[in-house]
Structure 1
Amino acid sequence: MGSQTPAAELSPPRPEVAELAPRIWQVIENAPVLTAVTHKDADGDTLGSALALAQALGPIGKSVPVLSSPPVPQAWWFLPGFERVNQQSASPDTPVFIFDASDASRAGTNEPIVTQARVVVNIDHHVSNTQFGSINLVRTDAASTGELVYDLLKAWKIHIPPEAASCLYVTILSDTGGFRHDNTSAHALRAAAELVELGADPVMMARGLFKSRPASTLRMQGRILQGLHFEFGDRLVWGSISQAALRDSGATTDQADSSIDQLNTIRGQELAILFKEAGPRLTKVSIRSRDQVDAAELAAKFGGGGHRRAAGLEVALPLKEAEARVLTEARQRMTRLA
């Protein structure tokens, strides 16, 4: 396969990844150009995974355009190589790698690139993944999709440059909420430590992720916190943000994405839901749960998906109507718990 990775002693890749790695390598070996596609409303996991693959394969002569359905959230400006996103278009008849997407529609405006590709390598960690690729590397035990990309690079013995290590580190840092979420495993922590040894910059990546928010984000979060609703003895917490409130705060819809983590900090809480008005008839919803409610199952009722404790959806309904419908389902589940 590739050239041996120097530097630190690295843990072996997951056996399931090592088994599939040669088949995926054949796709890469036979193609001078590949296309890396993120999911729409891109986050650190999908962007970090796509950029890391491009940065690792570049030195061995592979061209990898990174495509992301616009608008690409500027919150990820600090990722090494962020400026290359959407700088090249997809070449026809090239294999497509898509990251952190449970189905092809998650590619947004790039969905035709995925559905029309002759080979699609689907790399993901969501339980709701529909196995839509020609090759499917889906491991729900991974804290992030970037963990699986890291396992692949190790299996291929590809040199991992520092900028790729930083991107992969962010996939884990962001998807574990700074190593606070329930998906923070020994494997994730070990991978993060190895990536630092390979040149990832944990200080700058943490500063970019947690300490570089515009003031408008805090103003917007204040509006959300002021309007919180508490039900079932504070076990169900929900809030919303309208377009008018976003404008007043000087914020955009994508800046609200991380606000769900504020709702998910209450002692004894079981379910947190955040509604974000994206348009007159479009509402985005983030869901977080603790132990007893399956967030992915709740999201799936409305065409969404994700993980048991973290999921999301978007529904073609006005904000108030979306609140009513999703909360009806949420309250039913909370009532059953009681």
Structure 2
Amino acid sequence: MIYKFSKEFNQIKKELEKAKRILLVAHARPDGDTVGSVFVLKEYLAGSLGKKAVVTCLDSFSEHLKDIFVGEDFVDPEKVKINDYDLLIGCDAVERGFEKIVTSKNKNQTIILLDHHPHLEMKKIKPDIVISDENYSAVCEILYDFFDFHRIEISKKMATYLLTGILGDTGMFQHANTTPRVMEITAGLMRKGAPLAKTIQSSFKSKRLETLKLWGRALERAEMNEKTGVIMSYITKEDLDELGATSEDISSVAEILNTVSEAKFSLVLAEQEDNKIKGSLRSEWYKNVDVSEIARKLRGGGHRLASGFEVAGKLVKNEEGITVE
């Protein structure tokens, strides 16, 4: 097999073997891919190289992933002394929080960024090694190739972590990024012992009643704009408080709305802390809409079919509908 990033894979392995203290950084509002990728690296470092790594993130560990990543957790960034580490690795959507944690780089540090989103740009820090390719379904797929390239044995735990990331970013094999290669990798991970049905059930199908109530409220508010083809809804902080839901419960609403056959793409606006609003955009290949173009105009990013952005303000309902003020 020909590996597109064979040069980078060799460089990364050399850095991992050389490093004395390693920091792994997951992106804000962590999903299965960022969590799977940082913890599979942590597991590899401990099991194969006998090295300990610290995993950090701006946000807390996702509740729906705790049944898969038993005993794992993030270290609070405020307790992390960046200058103590000689190797720093950002995994997945690195523009979402990496530079808020790693604010500077000294001459003795090496930075590696792994991503599968287009238009990867760092504003303050110049990384030493970058793999960024939107043809990959997930960073966990990139890491599978890394392990495969170096003939590194993948344990059952590592296989489960990798599978969680791939399942999350392919929408349980429903998104257009589900390639034959993804299915081949999945089969290989299952042969290593990764439990497909259990991973799907634990990570994606076990829903709290509060989650379903929140979805119901968002679906009830959904409106279709026939001129633009967007189906849109919104969720306020008051909704979260009243229903006992969390921001994690919002993640699937845009995907559900995108199943409406008449819609070209979906948009969900959700109020966050600190007077911010998160926008989630979804579409499908056959609808011929690149939602990443919309997100980039609002200083966001993502993929052609799944993107997001964040703006300052709050949602205000008036006679014309919902506006951001």
TM-score for both structures, normalised by structure 1: 0.85
How many angstroms apart in 1 are the aligned matches of 2:87 and 2:312? Answer: 32
How many angstroms apart in 2 are the aligned matches of 1:302 and 1:178? Answer: 28
Q: CA deviation at 1:52?
A: 0.6
1:62 counterpart = 2:58: no
1:183 counterpart = 2:183: no
Greater alpha carbon shift after TM alignment, 106-115 vs 134-143: 106-115
**1:119-145 Cα distance to aligned partner (Å, 9 max, x none):** 111000001212652100111100111
Runs of 5+ in structure 2 lacking a partner? none
Task: Identify, as 1 or 2, the structure richer in strand.
Answer: 2
Contact 1:51 1:82 (C-alpha < 8 Å) held by counterparts = no
Task: Identify, as 1 or 2, the structure richer in helix.
Answer: 1
1:308 counterpart = 2:300: no
**1:291-336 Cα distance to aligned partner (Å, 9 max, x none):** 322211111111110001100011112124996479xxxxxxxxxx
Paired residue type of 2:97: R
Greater alpha carbon shift after TM alignment, 110-119 vs 215-224: 110-119
Give 2:103's aligned residue: 112
Contact 2:61 2:73 (C-alpha < 8 Å) held by counterparts = no
How many angstroms apart in 1 are the aligned matches of 2:106 and 2:120? Answer: 15
Tell me the number of residue pairs that the alignment of Structure 1 and Structure 2 aligns: 313
How many angstroms apart in 1 are the aligned matches of 2:245 and 2:21? Answer: 38
How many angstroms apart in 1 are the aligned matches of 2:228 and 2:64? Answer: 31
Paired residue type of 2:157: E
2:121 to 102, 121, 130: 130
Identity over aligned pairs, percent: 26
Give 1:53's aligned residue: 41
Give 2:88's aligned residue: 96
Contact 2:236 2:315 (C-alpha < 8 Å) held by counterparts = yes
Q: How does 1:252-291 map to 2 (within 5 A)?
A: 252-279=246-273, 281-290=275-284, 291=287
How many angstroms apart in 2 are the aligned matches of 1:319 and 1:145? Answer: 33
1:296 counterpart = 2:292: yes
Give 1:243's aligned residue: 237
Contact 2:22 2:85 (C-alpha < 8 Å) held by counterparts = no
2:74 to 85, 90, 110: 85
Cα 1:108–1:318 shift into 2, 3 Å: farther
Contact 1:96 1:114 (C-alpha < 8 Å) held by counterparts = no
1:213 to 203, 207, 210: 207
Q: CA deviation at 1:117?
A: 7.6
How many angstroms apart in 2 are the aligned matches of 1:212 and 1:160? Answer: 27
User: Partner of 1:136: helix, strand, or coil?
Assistant: strand
How many angstroms apart in 1 are the aligned matches of 2:99 and 2:213? Answer: 29
**1:213-255 Cα distance to aligned partner (Å, 9 max, x none):** 2111001001001110111179320000111111121101221
User: Partner of 2:119: helix, strand, or coil?
Assistant: coil
How many angstroms apart in 1 are the aligned matches of 2:108 and 2:30? Answer: 21
Greater alpha carbon shift after TM alignment, 148-157 vs 85-94: 85-94
Contact 1:275 1:284 (C-alpha < 8 Å) held by counterparts = yes
